[in-house]
Chains A and B, each alone.
Chain A
Amino acid sequence: MYVAVKGGEAAILATHDLVAEMRRGDTSVPEVSTAQIREQMSLAVARVMNEGSLADADLAALALKQAQGDAIEAAFLMRAYRTTLPRLGSSQPLDTAAMAIRRRVSATYKDLPGGQVLGPTYDYTHRLFDFGLTGTSDAPPSAMPSDVALDTRMPRVPDILGAEGLMEPETPPEGDPRPFDLTRDPVEFPADRDVRLQALARGDEGFLLGLAYSVQRGFGGNHPFAGEIRMGEVPVEFVPEELGFAVDIGDLTVTECQMVNQFKGSKHVAPQFTRGYGLAFGHAERKAMSMSIVDRALKGRELGEAASYPAQQDEFVLYHSDNVEAAGFVEHLKLPHYVDFQGELELIRRLRRELEERIAREAVESGVLPKAAE
């Protein structure tokens, strides 16, 4: 039977209809709304905003709905839209010290100014199914506000260490230039920290998690301490040119992680702690923690450490952590390659023929012909 390998426009259009049908599923089940996704799938929404590099929960919810919950496909939709948006300018740097805290934990101090705030976390849930969730319930959630307000002063742990001179200082480069934008300009290597942090911020959570894990397990030289993880709302300020002063344009929910790592010092630098930094949209602790460990690993070059492991090599990490690019290239193998494959077919047939001819020739020359019937 002959199978046609060439497809046409009608077939492509039909795939669009089939996708729409599959997305909707059983029509006797009510359709999910993007508002439901935004409110009830907020961790998935945060992941799509991070990897899509666009802080817009409504669009992320739409992307998730359109992509049937596929996080990478949803991030791709976000990026393809984001790339068409004009750039009005850059906000002022976020001040995470001024965050309205919903969660804040430190693993390096038992207690610290502002205290430990557990907030919403799965950390101490037992991973047992809550079968009550299979149905729906009108009962409102039972979390009640505390009688005691949180401390207004919640200093960041690295700042506390920094006050004692134990933490490497991190100051902007001279003149505090506008950071590199890797969505507008090609990355060159070795990549500077602003480029690395940007790439990590949009990098695949799973890939960065694996890399961070590799650093911890022995494919890396650092032992990280979770100096602080905080999550909450920070105000975003923007200076419109015509006004000349900063205007508050809204709040962002972000998760910040600062990992504290030992550094034994070098000839010219006293022993001190070094920092790995992670920042993500929404509640995204796993992402922020992984990012901060990999950020620290990539700092090795500046600190004079050998780049022996994958997590320490900026080309390896930056090129391969982008899941939209990676997915595109891996999946492009679905495209026809029969022209190249024809070349390989011709070559392998020729190589096999040449090998058989050589074996036969050598057999004749060495006189060990297959024996004729005796």
Chain B
Amino acid sequence: MQKTVTPSGSPRDEAYNFAYLDEATKRMVRRALLKAVAVPGYQVPFGSREMPLARGWGTGGIQVTAAVIGPEDTLKVIDQGADDTTNAVSIRRFFARVAGVATTEATAEASIIQTRHRIPEAPLEAGQILVYQVPQPEPLRKLESSEAETRKMHAWGDYGPMYVRLYEDIARFGHVATTYSYPVLVNGRYVMSPSPIPKFDNPKMHMSAALQLFGAGREKRIYAIPPWTEVKSLDFEDHPFEVQKWDEPCALCGAPDSYLDEVITDDQGGRMFVCSDTHYCEGRRDAGHRGRLLGTDAGRALARDGE
């Protein structure tokens, strides 16, 4: 049942320009993208348009995707790592309608992957573009509420307060108590928010072969990590960065090394842990890997085996 590329079922909606945005707007977004790629990790202000989807629901990512997508592209959209979450479905439908492009759930077959909160488990390849939806592009916002001030802090490389915050966690808890939106230093210059991906995914950004583009629609900022760029999660020599681990493997595919979602199975405290990356999980099951609960009622409900 491995999903492959789905050609766009119906022709695109001719009432709108290809990929919804007009060409002048796309050019404006592309200019911002070029600047962002040239200055990795720097937040480029752009004339974010009002979109037919709500702010906070991916309008930044959608504008970036609309600016870079072409008729030959194959698009994958994930939310929480899954292709079938409601908003991912909604965004994929949007592009199928206004761009008429082929869509896929297979990570390797997608030329553009728009994501919210996750990086796929399978390593990305050269030529692929990962587009992140970003709610708050400013990693320093919780430390300094003024945009005028945080821009100065970036200009001066004044990242002391961020290290102090991490240090305070260590002094209090013995380790850094940030699990997502864990700040990174890009290309040795700008501290950047990786968007609210779990810190588990941070290492995948480092020296990635793929181009990583970030769009924050409501906050009107674009930033980028070009391929093969150093991305370092902030840490201390005596308290090196570490990622989450689980005590058990995925209950469906048995993967010992993927990010797991906790699923409540009853009201008696029963729970199971399954891959958040649904395509990765399906791929492993197709390859014969079996988790503890595959084939049980709970497993069937989650594994979409009934199809």
Given contacts A83-B50, A329-B56, A340-B198, contact A189 B148 (CB under 8 A): yes
Q: Which of A86, A189, A324, A328 has the largest count of B CB atoms less than 10 A from its CB?
A: A328
Question: Which secondary structure characterizes the binding site on chain B?
Answer: loop
Within 8 A of B (CB), among A328-371: 328-332, 335-340, 342-347, 351, 354
Which A-chain residue is minimally distant from B57 (CB atoms)? Answer: A332
Which single residue of chain A is at the shortest CB-CB distance from B49? Answer: A83
A186: Cβ under 8 A from any B Cβ = yes
A4 touches B (CB below 8 Å): yes
CB-CB under 8 A from A9, the residues of chain B are 89, 93
For B90, the chain A residues whose CB sits under 8 A away are 12
On whether the beta carbons of A339 and B117 are closer than 8 Å, the reply is yes
B-chain residues with CB within 8 Å of residue A325 when the two chains form the complex: 55-56, 218
- Chain B nearest CB from A48 CB (Å) reads 15
Whether the pair A186, B220 counts as a contact (CB closer than 8 A) is yes
Q: Which of B84, B147, B179, B259 has the most CB of A within 10 A?
A: B179
Residues of A within 8 A of B218 (CB): 325, 328-329
Q: Is the C-beta of A190 less than 8 angstroms from some C-beta in chain B?
A: yes
Residue of B nearest to A13 (CB): B93
The segment from B207-215, B262-270, B283-291 found at the interface with A is: B262-270
Give the residue of A76, A190, A336, A345 whose beta carbon is less than 8 angstroms from that of B54.
A76
Given contacts A11-B86, A339-B81, A339-B180, contact A329 B55 (CB under 8 A): yes
Stretch at the interface among B40-48, B225-233, B249-257: B40-48
Interface digits, B34-73 against A, CB 8 Å rule (1 contact, 0 not)?
0000000000011111111011110100000000000000
- Does B87 reach chain A (CB closer than 8 Å)? yes
* Interface size of A as a range: 35 or more
CB of A354 within 8 A of CB of B50, answer no
Write the B188-210 contact mask toward A (1 if CB under 8 angstroms, else 0): 00000000111110000000000
With A83-B49, A336-B85 known as contacts, the answer to whether A342 contacts B262 (CB < 8 A) is yes
Question: How many Å from the CB of A272 to the closest CB on chain B?
Answer: 29
A76 to B246: give the CA distance in the assembly, Å.
Answer: 43
The answer for the CA separation of A205 and B260 in the assembled complex, in Å, is: 44
Q: Is B143 an interface residue (CB 8 A)?
A: no
- Interface residue? B135 (CB, 8 A): yes
Classify the secondary structure of A's interface with B: helix
A315–B146 Cα distance when bound, in Å, is 7
- Is B305 an interface residue, CB under 8 A from the partner? no
Bound Cα distance from A5 to B85, whole angstroms: 8
Let me know if B174 and A354 touch, CB within 8 A.
Answer: yes
For chain B, the count of residues having a C-beta within 8 Å of the partner chain is 63
A2 proximal to B (CB < 8 A):
yes
User: A343 near B199 (CB under 8 angstroms)?
Assistant: yes
Q: Which residues of A contact B118 (CB under 8 A)?
A: 339
Q: With A331-B56, A336-B80 in contact, do A79 and B50 touch (Cβ < 8 Å)?
A: yes
- Asked, given contacts A345-B262, A347-B177, whether A328 binds B55 with beta carbons under 8 Å apart, the answer is yes
Most chain A beta-carbon contacts within 10 A, residue among B51, B52, B54? B54
B117, A340: Cβ atoms closer than 8 Å = yes
A8 to B244, CA, bound (A): 29
Whether A332 and B148, one on each chain, are in contact in the complex, defined by CB atoms closer than 8 angstroms, is no
**Distance in Å: Cβ of A267 to nearest Cβ of chain B:** 26
Residue numbers in A under 8 Å from B84 (CB-CB) = 6-8
**Residues of A close to B266: CB separation below 8 A:** 1-2
Give CA–CA (A3, B266) in the complex, Å: 8
A residues lining the B interface (CB < 8 Å): 1-9, 11-12, 76, 79-80, 82-84, 86, 183-190, 315, 319, 324-325, 327-332, 335-340, 342-347, 351, 354
Extra pairs beyond A7-B85, A82-B50, A337-B117 (15, CB < 8 Å): A1-B266, A9-B93, A12-B89, A79-B50, A83-B50, A86-B22, A184-B47, A328-B54, A332-B55, A332-B57, A335-B87, A338-B276, A342-B260, A342-B262, A347-B177
CB pairs A–B below 8 angstroms (11 shown):
A2-B298, A76-B54, A183-B50, A185-B47, A186-B46, A186-B220, A327-B55, A330-B56, A332-B54, A339-B276, A343-B200
The 8 nearest A-B residue pairs measured at CB: A328-B55, A343-B179, A332-B56, A328-B54, A186-B45, A329-B56, A186-B220, A83-B50
